[in-house]
Amino acid sequence: MNGSRAEPARELEMPGPAPKIRTSFMCTIPSAVVTQALAHAGADAVVIDQEHGAIGPEHLHAMIAATAGTKCRPLVRVGKRDEAMVKLALDMGAAGVVFPLVNTAQEAADCVAMTRYPPRGRRGFGPFIGHSRWGFSFDEYLSKVGGTIICNILIETKSAIDNIEAICSVEGISALILAPFDLAVELGCPGQFDSQEFLKAVEQFERATTAAKVAKSTVAMTEEQVQAATVRGYAAVMLGFDVLMLKNSATTAISWIK
């Protein structure tokens, strides 16, 4: 793979001694209204979830388009490492793709290739719809947007942790995302984020990404978790999941009556 890590990471660059941590939300509800609200709230990115969310191709374009006019970057978490899903997401105007269940450096390199045009990758050219999201003409898309596509990799398995140093060496990765829920389940300690096995895996992830100078991200759904992630050098955090935020708010409001 001949790509450059610096190229896709442009949206994640945070110069200066005290960089501002980037924020995102996971969109599982098939609604352009929800996506637009989160984008206008000031999120740096929304992740439109086609892996665990209820979002099909019929809603994908509307949710991506709903971020227009904001600083928010629409990313798509595809259901698997599938070239057709990646092509659809990017051609609908997504700023990048989040890849699940990546276990090896070769799989990570394959993800990068799916987000790059030849000669750096194998993405097919056809942004007939996507160019409008960025305010460019069809002819301008390749030069203005094509080289900025974000390629984020989820680290959520024991195999990925075992291979983390090799994965960090793959050129073209924008960020590696520690997925605590999946990782804890795989390690046999679901929800036990203070277990020794889980903490050891996190330490290995953080050590490798720091040494390789690869941007890292994780879930942080409280102010304390955000502060801890900032101290430990995370470049970005996932602040919440739309459906859980809605349900939790409703549950709290209902509790006022009881």
Reply yes or no on whether the pLDDT at 211 is more than 60.
Answer: yes
pLDDT category at 10 given cuts 50, 70, 90 is very low
Read off the DSSP letter of residue 156.
-
Read off the DSSP letter of residue 133.
G
Reply yes or no on whether the pLDDT at 6 is more than 90.
Answer: no
- CA atoms of 122 and 115, how far apart (whole Å): 8
Domain boundaries, the chain: 8-255
DSSP helix/strand/coil, 17: coil
pLDDT category at 19 given cuts 50, 70, 90 is low
Residue 20, pLDDT score: 81
List the structure tokens of 135. 């305010």
- CA atoms of 248 and 222, how far apart (whole Å): 14
Contacts of 70 (CB under 8 A, 6+ apart): 39, 40
CA-to-CA dists, residue 248 to 25, 40, 199, 220, 257, angstroms: 15, 21, 27, 16, 15
Reply yes or no on whether the pLDDT at 146 is more than 70.
Answer: yes
Provide the whole-model pTM: 0.91
CATH superfamily of the domain spanning 8-255:
Phosphoenolpyruvate-binding domains (3.20.20.60)
Least confident of 9-13, 96-100, 170-174: 9-13
Share of the chain above pLDDT 70, in %: 93
8 Å CB contact between 165 and 155: no
User: pLDDT by residue (tens digit) across 89-126?
Assistant: 999 999 999 999 999 999 999 999 999 999 999 999 99
Read off the DSSP letter of residue 88.
H
- CA atoms of 98 and 43, how far apart (whole Å): 17
Name the amino acid, one letter, at 141. Y
pLDDT category at 193 given cuts 50, 70, 90 is very high
Q: Which residues of 117-145 are buried (b: 16+ CB within 10 A; e: fewer)?
A: eeebbebeeebeebbebbebeeeebeeeb
User: pLDDT by residue (tens digit) across 79-92?
Assistant: 999 999 999 999 99
